[in-house]
Structure 1
Amino acid sequence: MRKVAVVSGGGTGIGRAIADQLAAEHEVVLLGRRAEVLREATEELSYDGRRVRSVVADLCEPAEVRRAAEEITAAGATVDVLVNNAGGNFAPYPSDDLDTTREQYLRNLGGNVLPVVLLTQALLPALRRPGGRIVTVSSIAAFRGNTSYGAAKAALHPWSTELAGQLAADGITVNVVAPGYIGGTDFFRERMTPEFHRQRSAQAPVGRGGTVADVAELVAYLAGPGAGFVTGQIIQINGGALMGRG
């Protein structure tokens, strides 16, 4: 029976690269809010007999998460891999105004924590036992960011390690991947200029910025059979831009 991998935020950037990597050995389900983006990603990733499908859902809304989980697990399907990648920086510019600051924190906490926690909780009964894999994509901002985005990503770290302890006896691993600067995505939007890319890339001692393929390779390892003894870990991937924390 073909294995099933679910990738939230799988329509673009890091999520799409992860889906592409996992589709070689899994039936992949892409989750996201934008129907057209998911449709295009599904079509482009479905080559050479690979099976990729998509489910449109706002993962901040419990009713939509329930519907998505029911669709994914229809007919008793088992989920082998869950990659929590949905999220983003929904308030990239800090404010000195208290009301604005409150709104920024609520937006980023809701947009980065709820999709992970709700989707994981909804799919937990369907995860393969033993052998299931949960991988959550965090950020270097969780270690050194002083914004609402960094705070939101940092909240996922203790949640993941606690879940790893709870699921260890079932043979399910839970890990976090925390990328540093990754080019080739929409994350930085209008801030992405050649000079911005040069400056961010220079922060890594290896002499370059990261790529979506770098992250996808690491996630694929954690999702595979060789990572069965790796759980409860926060694994950085940043070219040495921030060393010695995890």
Structure 2
Amino acid sequence: MTGASAGIGKATAKRFAENDDKVILIARQEKRLAQAAREIESSVPGADVEPLVLDMSDAESAGILRDRAGAAELPLGGLLCCAGAVPAPGDNDDGDVGPALTEWQEAYRSNVMTSVVAVEGLLPLMTDGGSIVLYSSIAAYRGSGGTGGYGAAKAALHSYVHTLATRLGPRGISANAIAPGYVADTDLFGGSLPAARETMLVRQTALGRAGAPADVAELGFYLCSKAGGYLTSQILQLNGGSSHGV
């Protein structure tokens, strides 16, 4: 589980721990990751979680992760890639493309390459019949702030999912993406979201509430379960009805 130190990633790791699965928790920040592991262990008696500090946008992390997962000597049945971030906006009102280029590069590094490095690095260890879950965003459909790099990067994952589903289908490995809308208690929104904007985002939903990390965690767990095994090559919008499915 990448991006496991907070929000959706931490909630998803906890959901698997509750199922007595061994979970490797991956994130960049050591202190936050250690705290997440302690929280899961304290709330799930007997939880088997192993924190691993890695920057999954770095190609060298693929080999480190593969070695650690292989050392566990357990079947690798699921890979969930939740690592991602919104880059600082790079407006170029003065015609300087440098800031915009930096935003796009950072968007793809933190939201696309983090998934590609993890997936391609671990594919040799994945069991036939396993599952891959990538994490997109409603921004892939609506666009995003700044120069749009974040939304475009999330949309790029959709193509990757379809490619993986076709490529790995003969092995019975499913590949899907979850595209959440507004989910409270995450780093993306944090405590800095203005009250007026939060009210607007909630009003946009059909259900009249913000999403919770546990909502997304439950869908990720289902996609890796036997019951969800026939579901593949899908982008699952999870937004309370704020954007209609297609």
TM-score of the pair, normalised by structure 1? 0.92
Paired with 1:154 and 1:107, the residues of 2 have a C-alpha distance of 15
- Determine if the alignment matches structure 1 residue 34 to structure 2 residue 29: yes
Q: CA deviation at 1:215?
A: 0.6
Letter of the structure 2 residue corresponding to residue 186 of structure 1: D
Matches within 5 A, 1:66-81: 66-74=63-71, 76-81=73-78
Q: Is the 8 A contact 1:91 1:148 kept in 2?
A: no
Letter of the structure 1 residue corresponding to residue 196 of structure 2: E
- Determine if the alignment matches structure 1 residue 121 to structure 2 residue 120: yes
Paired with 1:21 and 1:196, the residues of 2 have a C-alpha distance of 30
Secondary structure at 2:25 match in 1: strand
Paired with 1:17 and 1:92, the residues of 2 have a C-alpha distance of 28
Matches within 5 A, 1:18-33: 18-25=12-19, 26-33=21-28
Paired with 1:240 and 1:230, the residues of 2 have a C-alpha distance of 21
Secondary structure at 1:187 match in 2: coil
Secondary structure at 1:83 match in 2: strand
**Aligned pair partner of 1:58 in 42, 55, 59:** 55
Paired with 1:150 and 1:211, the residues of 2 have a C-alpha distance of 21
Paired with 1:17 and 1:201, the residues of 2 have a C-alpha distance of 21
- Determine if the alignment matches structure 1 residue 236 to structure 2 residue 237: yes
Q: Is the 8 A contact 2:90 2:100 kept in 1?
A: no
Letter of the structure 2 residue corresponding to residue 198 of structure 1: T
Distance 1:190 1:106, change over 3 A: farther
Give the stretch that moved more between structures: 176-185 or 71-80: 71-80
Q: CA deviation at 1:230?
A: 0.3
Paired with 2:214 and 2:72, the residues of 1 have a C-alpha distance of 33
- Determine if the alignment matches structure 1 residue 43 to structure 2 residue 42: no
> May I ask how many residue pairs the two structures share in their alignment?
238
Q: CA deviation at 1:71?
A: 1.0
Distance 1:75 1:185, change over 3 A: closer
Q: Is the 8 A contact 1:183 1:210 kept in 2?
A: yes
Matches within 5 A, 1:26-175: 26-46=21-41, 47-74=44-71, 76-92=73-89, 94-96=91-93, 97-129=96-128, 131-146=129-144, 147-175=148-176
Paired with 1:15 and 1:194, the residues of 2 have a C-alpha distance of 25
Paired with 1:233 and 1:59, the residues of 2 have a C-alpha distance of 24
Secondary structure at 1:80 match in 2: strand
Q: Is the 8 A contact 2:90 2:102 kept in 1?
A: no
Q: Deviations over 1:115-142 (max 9, x none)?
A: 100110000011111x201011110001
What is the root-mean-square deviation in Å for CA atoms of aligned residues?
Answer: 1.4
Q: CA deviation at 1:191?
A: 4.0
Paired with 2:83 and 2:72, the residues of 1 have a C-alpha distance of 26
- Determine if the alignment matches structure 1 residue 8 to structure 2 residue 2: yes
TM-score of the pair, normalised by structure 2? 0.92
Paired with 1:190 and 1:93, the residues of 2 have a C-alpha distance of 23
